[in-house]
Amino acid sequence: MNLKSFQTHYILGIGRSGSTLLATLLNAHSQIKAIPEVPIATFFAHKYGKIKSENNELEKNAKIYLEAIQKIRPKHLVNLHAEKLSLGELKYNSYSEFLNEVFSNFDILEKEGHYPIVVDKNPYYTFHYDALCKLTPNAKFIVLVRDYRANILSRKKKTLNKSGNIIFNAFLCRLFFKEINSFRSNKNCLLVRYEDLVSNQVETLTSICQFLNIEFEQNLIGSGIQKDISSNVESEKSEKFIKEHFSELKNPVHAGNTEKWKTELSTQEIEICDTICSKEANALGYKSISSIQKNFNLLLIRNLSKFIKAYYNVKKERIIYYMPIGIKLKRLNQKI
């Protein structure tokens, strides 16, 4: 495959909004390889983004990075083949070409080799939109959003590495939505609502294919994971991650699940969510239902520590982007 014939696009949006589902569906397309949360693109972009030839240091560091990430990815579903970076066989003249070579080594749901289109998804890419535009000038961005109350309910239930606190997660949603609203109207962005994806897959996936300038394929509908997801995980510490992140993909998608928040969140919890999120969410088509609106400023003052925690959670992405590679790799290995 001609290295210059590939194109990379991105899926953005806060986690627990269906991005793994969407990536799995798109991965069924004959022209697409969808990358499930291996954010290597931004990890090395600051230092190596302007390279114009092959770089041994980049390849060595990328191998260390992929070995760490592999520990929380089941190999029979997502095999990153970090060992291939030791062979000295990668051919590239730029950072984007390097990434495409790396992605071509990945086995994603039994898809191997180069594909014309790579769809790279990671929630925190949301805060690197400008950097990704510079890195990949012709990239398109699928901006996936979900009703904030459903998202917060999901986070309340699945607390891996994150707090299940309603107020913290409401502030987190607000910050993601505010960031999304700053660029979602740009020509290289397509706003997709999770609710539309699950209630009308054909129409939604057709619009996504049109946006990416490819033909819709019928086998996109209903694609999912039907295999044992718990095997081939290198780190026992990561078993909970695998179960929480991948297990729901084995189940049928029901549109009725999108409104569980109406019965599973209390009236007070919904009022809090509406107070914190409705301003930013309204622009995305999500309306407040609370008859009583709490005072946002008072809520912020009383829960300032939770806001600061949420603010740091998203702003640290830009800080980490500029960190030395050695520090970032050490930090990554400590988290795994």
Residues 318 and 211 in one domain: no
Do 207 and 179 share a structural domain? Answer: no
Domain annotation covers residue 313 = yes
- Out of 16-20, 285-289, 291-295, pick the least confident: 291-295
Q: Are residues 175 and 191 in the same domain?
A: no
The reply to whether 158 and 112 lie within a common domain is no
Lowest model confidence (mean pLDDT) among 10-19, 180-189, 240-249, 253-262 = 240-249
Q: Are residues 9 and 82 in the same domain?
A: yes
* 274 and 194 within one domain: no
pLDDT for residue 100 is more than 60: yes
CATH of the domain at 136: 3.40.50
The more confident residue out of 1 and 268 is 268
pLDDT tens, position by position, 60-94: 999 999 999 999 888 888 999 999 998 888 999 99
Do the strands 78-79 and 107-108 form a parallel or antiparallel pair, or are they unpaired? Answer: antiparallel
Total domain count, the chain: 2
**CA 55/CA 34 separation, integer angstroms:** 25
Is residue 250 assigned to a domain? no
Contacts of 159 (CB under 8 A, 6+ apart): none
pLDDT of residue 163: 80
Q: Residue 36 domain-assigned?
A: yes
**Is 251 contained in some domain?**
no
120 pairs with which residues across the strands?
Answer: 10, 35
Domain span holding position 206? 1-146+185-237
Residues 69 and 19 occupy one common structural domain? yes
Q: Are 22 and 37 in contact (CB under 8 A)?
A: no
Confirm whether 120 is domain-assigned: yes
In angstroms, the Cα distances linking 75 to 22, 67, 71, 203 are: 20, 11, 9, 33
Helix, strand, coil share of the chain (percent; to 5): 55, 10, 35
Of 96-110, 119-133, 134-148, 228-242, least confident by mean pLDDT is 228-242
* 172 in the same domain as 67: no
Reported confidence tier of residue 239, pLDDT bands at 50, 70, 90? low
Q: Are residues 207 and 315 in the same domain?
A: no
Q: pLDDT tens digit string along 5-41?
A: 689 999 999 999 999 999 999 999 999 999 989 999 9
Q: DSSP strand E in the chain: where?
A: 7-12, 32-36, 78-79, 107-108, 117-121, 141-145, 189-193
* Domain identity same for 169 and 202: no
Task: Give the count of beta carbons closer than 10 Å to the beta carbon of residue 41.
Answer: 25
Q: Taking all residues of the chain, what is their mean pLDDT, rounded to a whole number?
A: 89
**Rg from Cα positions in the chain:** 20
Q: How confident is the model at residue 109 (pLDDT cuts 50, 70, 90)?
A: confident
What are the pLDDT digits (tens) for 256-279?
Answer: 578 899 999 999 999 999 999 999
